[in-house]
Structure 1
């Protein structure tokens, strides 16, 4: 959790620094034509007021600055807005590069089969520990990964090059051009995600929840509202308030997981 907070601190510091520079440039005529620097420098944030930043690997802090610069790159490419402050509630994640982790498969000494997977986190100077995880399929060693926590559940996610060459835009266009409009309309289906109705198709098909899912969603909604009332009556920041907050997040997560599962299974 400290690594998540320190990387978020660097990201938010870069956001505030950029906001300060841009606001100052707007009010100063002598800075007309000058723009705030878009770089990955972060050493100015390691001061006597932030001793905790010296207790984590510098690579971790660098990754926070890289994430900020990547967000600005998306802004310049018109794929999103400027980087904004990341809050400390909700889903939290940290980006780790290969210097900060190592995969070690767990093998059975008798059969030699792989029975599990271990993820070693940390460096020689800043060791963190071992994280057991469930691999849903075979994988190759990635160059980086994301570790996230949401409503008390941890996730490890990464991607790697599988060696399969993806078709280019020209290849896709050449393949689609062989069909006429009627064939393209017949082989194309539009899907719309909803809340009450999880999935609806362009051909007027509707895909709803099963009876078991409906009952569980109603029960989870009742529990969520109950814990929301308890959270509202408790002192903000207390242990009971934090417990109620986690309960609300857990029940909220269940509904999101069910909707994601239904849409995924229906569209596949």
Structure 2
């Protein structure tokens, strides 16, 4: 069964600076995808034949430029890819009517970065403490301090979030419990009714 967990993170000042830069790069890609989709949609509406729509994809390489966006080269490519994929998945949900259309993210004190398994690793050290390594071999912030208030298994991806100067690590993990063994809604309601009658 999938469970969600949120852990308090305590990055150093140097780590905060790098994480803020990574979050800025992720937001830049998201906003760039929003702008790209808007441009192509307007172009298609004006110049394409009826029934032809603008392309929607999860590519992000076109936004990397040594002249226009050199800061993106200081960010792990996986983070740039993940931001574009998240935008694309959100747009697909919008097309199915499951959510609103992806919007440009405004500047604020909030930020997040989505890390897949290539960019993080939980390491159990000799002292028995589990530590979280963030980044790749060539581009990393080292071990990020966090407070674990419960046990968990290693997830496939994590989010590092910042809000009002506070940092957290959140993710979903499988606890190994089979949901099929849980009682159905009818069984649960029947149990509640029988327990109520006893009182």
TM range (shorter): 0.7 to 0.9
Q: Determine which of 179, 183, 191 is the counterpart of 1:166.
A: 179
Structure 1 contact 117–132 (Cα < 8 Å) conserved: no
Among 40, 43, 57, the alignment partner of 1:21 is: 40
Query: Matches of 1:75 and 1:167 in 2, distance apart?
Result: 31
Which of these residues, 74, 81, 84, is aligned with residue 55 of structure 1? 74
Question: What number of residue pairs does the alignment pair up?
Answer: 174
Query: Which residue in 2 is equivalent to 1:77?
Result: 96
Q: 1:92 aligns with which of 102, 107, 111?
A: 111
Structure-2 change in CA distance of 1:174 and 1:84 (3 Å) = same
Q: Tell me how far 1:79 sits from its aligned partner.
A: 1.8
The answer to whether structure 1 residue 137 and structure 2 residue 150 are counterparts is yes
Work out which of the residue numbers 137, 142, 149 in structure 2 matches 1:124: 137
Over the aligned positions, Cα root-mean-square deviation in angstroms equals: 2.5
Q: Which runs of 5+ in 1 are unaligned?
A: 109-113, 187-268
Within the candidate set 149, 156, 161, 1:148 is matched to 161
Tell me, in whole angstroms, the C-alpha distance in 1 between the residues paired with 2:45 and 2:75: 36
TM-score by length of 2: 0.78
Note if 1:66 corresponds to 2:79: no
Give per-residue Cα distances to partners, 1:72-104, cap 9 Å, x unaligned: 122123221110011230421100000001112
Equivalent of residue 60 in structure 2, options 17, 36, 42: 42
Whether 1:5 and 2:18 are equivalent positions in the alignment is no
Per-residue deviation, 1:177: 8.2
2:50 corresponds to which residue? 32
Question: Which one has the bigger strand percentage?
Answer: 2
Q: CA deviation at 1:155?
A: 0.2
Structure 2: gaps spanning 5 or more residues: 1-19
Question: Taking structure 1 as reference, are residues 141 and 177 closer, same or farther at Cα in structure 2, changes over 3 Å only?
Answer: closer
Residue 175 of structure 1 corresponds to 187
CA contact (8 A) 1:63 1:96 kept: yes
Cα distance, 1:25 vs structure 2: 1.9
CA shift, 1:124, in A, is 1.4
Whose Rg is larger? 1
Runs of 4+ in 1 over 4 A off after TM superposition: 176-179
Shift of 1:172: 3.4
Larger RCO (CA under 8 A, 6+ residues apart): 2
SS at match of 2:54: coil
SS where residue 159 of structure 2 aligns?
strand
